Structures are given as structure tokens and as C-alpha cells.
Amino acid sequence: MTPAQGSIFIVVAPSGAGKTSLVAALLQAEPGVELSVSYTTRAPREGEVGGKSYHFVDRAAFEGMIAAGDFLEYAEVYGNYYGTSARWLRERLAAGRDILLEIDWQGARQVRKVFGDAVAVFILPPSLPVLEARLRGRATDSEDVIQRRLSEARMEIDQVAEYDYLIVNDDFEQARLDLISVIRSQRLQAARQLQRHADAIAGMQTPR
């Protein structure tokens, strides 16, 4: 039997809103959801592993992939490219895997032009002052970078009406449960369950 087509989930948030931590918690709770590993030209951060955190490539290689049409979506953010492999994504969907894309708002818009049924979630901070405090609490960015991230955050938040779900990360545990609930509710939709469990359901129905 051909596996049911997988689903795409997109999670977008301003830098400092807690997206990475929430996605990690979601993947731990929902092992049936697979994280898409993006390509990037930025340098690896401490603890990041090539092929798991990102596929790290140089700028020339990335631009060659753009020219070859290898990306479903890509964007330049803070001077670095990020992109999602189109071939890998389509192969995983055809195998029945549900895929989560942790990307920016520009990438989300590009993906939804191709996959109109992709489910998009935006993670909001409780306020901009709280977001600024979180960015400063990292103690990793210069003042110029912090101000640039805050400016970008406003622009990203301007796009929230495009998303299917909005989650405010005021309390991490509640935000975690909200994100898990969104993914589970989508995976349990009747149309998807009828595909996944077609044989079992047919065996319980009145013979025709």
C-alpha cells in the first residue's frame, strides 16, 4: 500500500522568541514529525553539528544550488543564506513523513506558494520589551545587532495575519503544549487518518 502523503508544518518567530527551544520540545514529544535540516552559509555555532543542525556550505556552493534550482525556498538573513532542499522535502513527503520547517517569514511565504496546505504557526513574544530583554540576556550580540533584530521583529510581526496559528510564548510550558496541540490536531484530521489507517478502518466497516 502506498503511504499517505506527509504534511508540512512551518514554525516562524522573531529571533529571541523561543522558537528553537519550542521546536526541540515538540520533536521530543512528537517523534513522528521530522525536522527539515536547512542549508546555510553562516559559520557553525558552538555545539552545532553539520548535517544535523544545518548543512553548512560556503557562499559559492549555495549560490550554485540557487542557480541549479535546488531550493524550495531560500532567503538571505543578516548577511547569510538559508535554504530548504526541494528534492529532499518532496521525497520525505512521498514517504509519508510529516516535516517541520523552522524558517523565516520570507521562506514561509515561498513554501506556501508551492504547498498551499502547509500549516503555518507564528511564535510571538509577549511584548517587544520582553523580546529585547531576552536578546540582551544572551550576551552574544552587539548593540547594533540587537537593534537590527528588534527592527526585523517588527517587520516579521507585521505578517502575522498570514498564519494559521499564533502562539504567545509568555510561559514556555504553556507555549510548548499549545504547539504540540496544533500539530496533533492537524495530524488527527479525518482525511489524513482515513489515508493512514485505510485497511484497518475498512476491516471494521460493514461489508459492501
**Is 69 a member of any domain?**
no
**Is 134 a member of any domain?**
yes
DSSP code, position 54: B
The count of C-alpha atoms lying within 13 angstroms of the C-alpha of 135, restricted to the half-sphere facing its C-beta, is 24
**Is 114 a member of any domain?**
yes
**Is 199 a member of any domain?**
yes
Instruction: List the domain range (segments joined by +) for residue 18.
Output: 8-36+97-203
Mean pLDDT rounded to a whole number for the chain: 90
Q: Are 73 and 83 in contact (CB under 8 A)?
A: yes
Residue 194: pLDDT band (50, 70, 90) is confident
pLDDT given for residue 100 in this prediction: 96
Number of Cβ atoms within 10 Å of the Cβ of 64: 12
**Is 70 a member of any domain?**
no
CATH code of the domain in which 165 resides: 3.40.50.300
**Is 53 a member of any domain?**
no
User: What are 41-59's pLDDT values in tens digits?
Assistant: 998 888 888 888 899 999 9
The number of folded domains in the chain is 1
